Amino acid sequence: MAKYGKKASDTVASAMRRRKRGTLTSSSGRKVKSREQAIAIGLSEARAKGAKVPARKSSARKTSKKR
């Protein structure tokens, strides 16, 4: 069974095209230059649209540990 849906790959492809054109920006408003960051933004957008994308890994999220 596929891990990612077609809608998710379309969204990532769109983010990659925007990066190549120079119009993709991060949440802080800066232009995205790295391929990895463009993929991450595309997957995040796909998740927001409700596409079939696996949940983020728990280690990738920033959380504060209580001591």
Tell whether 58 is covered by a domain.
no
Q: How many alpha carbons fall within 13 Å on the CB side of residue 58? A: 2
Which residues are bridge partners to 31 per DSSP?
A: 25
- Confidence category of residue 66, pLDDT binned at 50, 70, 90: confident
Tell whether 17 is covered by a domain.
yes
Tell whether 55 is covered by a domain.
no
Token pair recorded at residue 38: 């463009």
User: Where in the sequence is the domain holding 44, given as residue range(s)?
Assistant: 6-49
Tell whether 41 is covered by a domain.
yes
Tell whether 43 is covered by a domain.
yes
| Residues 53 and 43 sit within 8 Å (Cβ to Cβ) | yes
- Confidence category of residue 2, pLDDT binned at 50, 70, 90: confident
Tell whether 54 is covered by a domain.
no
Tell whether 22 is covered by a domain.
yes
Query: Global pTM?
Result: 0.76
Q: What is the pLDDT of residues 11-60, one digit of tens each?
A: 999 999 999 999 999 999 999 999 999 999 999 999 999 889 888 877 65
What pLDDT, on the 0 to 100 scale, is given for residue 59?
A: 67
| Tally of domains within the chain | 1
